Amino acid sequence: MATTLWILSLSLVFLSVSAVTHKSVTDNPADELVALLNNNRTAHKESALYDNPGLACIALQYIKAYQGSCGEVGGEDAKRPADSQFAETFAPSCGVQVSTLTQITGRLLGCQTKYVSPAEAFSEILMKNSKSLEILYSKNHTELGGAVSGSDGGSPYFWCVLFSNGKSNSSFVLEGGVAKISKPGCFSGANDQCSSADDWSQTRRLWPYAAGLLIALGYAFG
């Protein structure tokens, strides 16, 4: 009887953590971010841009190149991945055909320690100044790709949007038509099941409580 109760209690612990982990599994903050950008463009009489999953996957690899160094985004110590990384690292990691890489016409990148909603990321992190607005409303863009990722599933959180002037059917073309999924992180246009970064952080916070409960159960049934 005690063994049965232990197994039942153990199952409930893992189901509780799993419920939080997967409660927003169909949400994709990168898709939401791209929708916000396009809505803002059309509100200012500019055309909506094609959401290119190949470009979006590269935006996620662009984030990963910072290796969690939030201090290298903006400010006097700002750095940018070398252009050579697009062909040497980013495209192969995504399954994008290198021959279809197209000019990047704009980049929006932000990072902070606290996870926020896509709307807050757009208005408070990415739209920092007149230069950001100039990039957003540029007539040189034809497509975009968005990505969001935490470092190892947690803080700090990066938000990135890359713009290009390519053609939707011939730029950032994916081998087999499907991007390679790279975790942690989400990218737009992938039709991928992707929990929000908020859920990632909630899950990390819940595991200590789950561990504590297991210890308590061990004593109870020991």
Dump pLDDT digits (tens) for 37-69.
999 999 999 999 999 999 999 999 999 999 989
| Burial classification of residue 92, based on how many CB atoms lie within 10 Å of its CB (0-12 exposed, 13-18 middle, 19 or more buried) | middle
pLDDT at residue 85 is higher than 60:
yes
Q: Give the pLDDT of residue 77.
A: 74
Q: Could you tell me the pLDDT band of residue 219, with boundaries at 50, 70 and 90?
A: very low
Cβ pair 172, 4 in contact under 8 A: no
What residues pair up with 51 in beta bridges, in sequence order?
144
Q: Give the pLDDT of residue 153.
A: 60
Q: Give the pLDDT of residue 215.
A: 43
Q: In terms of Cα–Cα distance, which of 63, 57, 53, 52 is closest to 91? A: 57
Q: Give the pLDDT of residue 201.
A: 43
Dump pLDDT digits (tens) for 124-176.
999 989 999 999 999 999 999 999 998 766 789 999 999 999 998 899 999 98
Q: Give the pLDDT of residue 152.
A: 64
**Cis bond leading into 184, ω under 30°?**
yes
Dump pLDDT digits (tens) for 102-116.
999 999 999 999 999
Q: Could you tell me the pLDDT band of residue 192, with boundaries at 50, 70 and 90?
A: low
Lookup: tokens for 29: 């903050």
Q: Strand, helix or coil at 18?
A: helix
pLDDT at residue 3 is higher than 70:
no
Note the pTM of the prediction, 2 decimals.
Answer: 0.77
The H or E element spanning position 189 is none
pLDDT at residue 28 is higher than 60:
yes
